[in-house]
Structure 1
Amino acid sequence: MSELREQVMAHAGDRMEMDNSVGPSATAATLGLVERPLVDVAQLDSASGVILARTEGVVTAAQCDLNDHLNMAEYLKIIDSLSGLTLDEIGVGEAYVASQRKSFFASRVAIRYLLEMTCGVSYVAEARLLAFDRRRLLTYFCLYNGENGQLVAKALLEWAHVDLSSRRALDLPASLANTFDRASHLFVERLPKITL
């Protein structure tokens, strides 16, 4: 087992989410996903996972809020645009959806903001494959200040493999799972649940 997988699984252990007052997310329930042990986004570092995609940009005035820093919705837009590149890079983008009638739906996301990004500051965003199980991918995003290289924000995004006809989660095809495993060696029996 890789050091990264050992860290993720050691941190996750057998703990289950303790606060169920809100219950599982509607998306997870709708897709037929089960609750899993926790992994804390704060425990991950910028060297975790295998880099799949990278993008760069500059924070514009239109992206800033009344506090003159990058609006939280804009962090999600950066992650979302990078997600498309990530899915294309691992062979499950538009061509996969069109030919297989299967796709990946975002089922959970957690973002941790570490530093401000103000208007005019350049950024670099990277997406990494952190782990996968028989039905899900766990991707990890890092947003860096492009001028000084400081880690500004990090996020975990869990994807469920979905049949577009039934709208239900289903196992990855063996060929796809083998491709992911050969590229990353990050297969785990059950993905840990993400939390802040």
Structure 2
Amino acid sequence: MLDRIDFEPLFFAPFVSSSMRVEEEWTDYNGHLNMAYYSLIFDRAMDEALSLLGLGPDYAGRRGASFFTAESHVRYLRELPADSPVRVALRLVDYDEKRLHLFQSLHHATEGWVSATSEQMALHVNLKTRHVMPFPDDVLERIATMRASHAALPTPEGIGRHVGMSPRL
């Protein structure tokens, strides 16, 4: 993972994470990936994408700011057994001077099907005051570039959904 940006990044649409593998200890007594570890996988992919924006661990140390997730909505669509190879596709849906709206889909890395999606709102936070703060201008420029590359993507299935009872299954 990148710790600093010393080049102008190229933003693919969508961003696709490194390949990961479902570890045996991440599975539960049902024989599939436990729900807590879906969040771990999504978080690791988000860290990769944020590093490309220049917002990785080095940024937190140098500028005293980072990201906190304010809200997330995960949909579990298909089981993943231990040892499954996975990748996450991430798109920047929207942003403003302090927030990122992201949508991620977890894919089986060799077969391509979607196992889960995660939609989240991330806040740019001053690590000393623990308050939300605006992005620096150089970061906003990279965010705008990423958003422009993601703008042509079709609306993801499931974005904006809420939790509630649907018609009978």
Is it true that 1:158 corresponds to 2:121 in the alignment? yes
Question: Number of paired residues?
Answer: 144
Q: Summarize deviations over 1:64-95 as a string: whole Å, max 9, x none.
A: 11110111011011112222212211111122
Q: Which moved more, 1:59-68 or 1:177-186?
A: 177-186
| Aligned equivalents of 1:182, 1:119: Cα separation in 2 | 37
Contact preservation (8 Å) 1:55, 1:124: yes
Contact preservation (8 Å) 2:16, 2:87: no
Question: Which of 130, 143, 154 is matched with 2:106 structurally?
Answer: 143
The runs of 5 or more residues in structure 2 that have no matched partner are 1-11, 152-158, 164-169
| Aligned equivalents of 1:80, 1:153: Cα separation in 2 | 13
Is it true that 1:108 corresponds to 2:71 in the alignment? yes
Contact preservation (8 Å) 1:54, 1:126: yes
- Equivalent residue, structure 2, for 1:71: 34
- Equivalent residue, structure 2, for 1:131: 94
Shift of residue 194, structure 1, vs aligned partner: 7.3
Shift of residue 165, structure 1, vs aligned partner: 1.9
Please give the residue correspondences for 1:20-31 in structure 2 after superposition, counting only pairs within 5 Å: none
Q: 1:168 to 1:124 in 2, by over 3 A?
A: same
Tell me the C-alpha RMSD between the 2 structures: 2.4
The two structures have a TM-score, normalised by structure 1, of: 0.65
How many percent of aligned residue pairs carry the same amino acid? 24
Contact preservation (8 Å) 2:92, 2:101: yes
Q: Which moved more, 1:153-162 or 1:124-133?
A: 124-133
The two structures have a TM-score, normalised by structure 2, of: 0.74
